[in-house]
């Protein structure tokens, strides 16, 4: 068997060493990835410090409008949090492992739970634009996998219970405490960057999809590869193509996400304020 490249990935080790040196070494109660339009969540941090991704060895640039491409550390509800403001998407360079180093770094900095957020289309009539939904599981419809080419047996990552049941329970309890309606459903990962066709959305609905988007699923696979507990939260920005007359576009995605960002912020506050958090 090849050596286990999770613990000896030199790019992850170099990025983590740099971050420790720059005072981003943790420990952290939570690591957060902010999706499209949700980068302003980092403005909720007290005593924030930031680093552009471009300065961190082996970090991806983030070239999508609506994404800052910056790492932030500070406290939220009094607890130390690491925030990845913006992500690299597989559709940018055709690389499904675009987030391998950032996710691996979470593992190298003490493995706090990882909460991924995204903007998504909804196939749930009751969850219209502006709704929040927990992801319970995913369908990988992209034809890609971030572990293609991974040499070690660690590549055979179990994906049962990948979306951590205890973290999800904590998020549900936090939503209830904060008076926020939280839907829940299966996320279908399409490779993008074009939005789905109505026919693709009808297919996804038949396969059991409740949400669609172009990110998150590969990061969950990587998180499980690195042994992290992970959960994911979708901010619904639109009904999926052809569903309830949905006709998604990127400007709408950014606008709705920005408007609903406060609810996600309140949910995070509630999550981190729980004594057993998160
Ligand atoms: N499809 C894919 N990605 C998305 C959507 C969508 O409808 N909305 C926001 N991100």
The SS3 call for residue 201 is helix
Asked whether 163 and 136 are in contact (CB, 8 A), the reply is yes
| C-alpha of residue 198 to centroid of ligand 1, in Å | 12
| Alpha-carbon span 116 to 53, nearest angstrom | 17
Q: Record the pTM.
A: 0.94
Cα of first residue to Cα of last residue in the chain, in angstroms, is 36
Q: Which atom of ligand 1 lies closest to the CA of 192? A: 2
What are the boundaries of each domain within the chain? 10-273
Asked whether 219 and 104 are in contact (CB, 8 A), the reply is no
CATH architecture of 10-273: 3-Layer(aba) Sandwich (3.40)
- In the prediction, which pLDDT does 1 show? 40
| Alpha-carbon span 109 to 114, nearest angstrom | 12
List, run by run, the mean pLDDT of 10-residue segments along the chain (278 residues).
Answer: 65 96 94 86 86 92 67 94 92 92 96 96 95 97 95 94 97 95 98 96 98 97 97 96 82 75 90 83
Q: Which atom of ligand 1 lies closest to the CA of 238? A: 8
């Amino acid at each position: 068997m090849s050596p286990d490249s999770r613990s000896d990935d030199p790019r992850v080790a170099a990025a983590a060493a740099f971050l420790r040196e720059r005072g981003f070494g943790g420990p952290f109660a939570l690591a957060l990835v902010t999706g499209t339009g949700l980068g302003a969540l980092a403005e909720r941090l007290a005593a924030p410090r930031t680093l552009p991704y471009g300065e961190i060895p082996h970090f991806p640039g983030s070239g999508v409008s609506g994404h800052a491409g910056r790492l932030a550390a500070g406290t939220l509800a009094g607890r130390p949090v690491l925030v990845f403001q913006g992500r690299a998407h597989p559709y940018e360079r055709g690389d499904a492992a675009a987030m391998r180093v950032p996710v691996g770094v979470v593992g190298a900095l003490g493995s706090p739970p990882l909460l991924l957020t995204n903007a998504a289309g909804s196939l749930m009539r009751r969850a219209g634009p502006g709704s929040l939904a927990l992801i319970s599981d995913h369908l990988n419809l992209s034809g890609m996998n971030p572990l293609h080419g991974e040499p070690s047996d660690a590549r055979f990552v179990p994906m049962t219970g990948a979306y951590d049941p205890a973290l999800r329970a904590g998020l549900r309890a936090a939503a209830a405490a904060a008076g926020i309606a939280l839907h829940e459903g299966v996320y279908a990962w399409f490779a993008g960057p074009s939005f789905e066709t109505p026919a693709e959305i009808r297919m996804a609905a038949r396969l059991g999809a409740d949400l669609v988007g172009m990110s998150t699923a590969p990061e969950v696979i990587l998180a499980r590869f690195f042994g992290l507990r992970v959960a994911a939260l979708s901010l619904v920005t639109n009904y999926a193509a052809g569903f309830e007359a949905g006709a998604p576009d990127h400007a709408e995605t950014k606008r709705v996400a920005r408007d609903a960002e406060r609810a996600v912020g309140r949910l995070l506050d509630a999550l981190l304020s729980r004594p057993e958090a998160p």
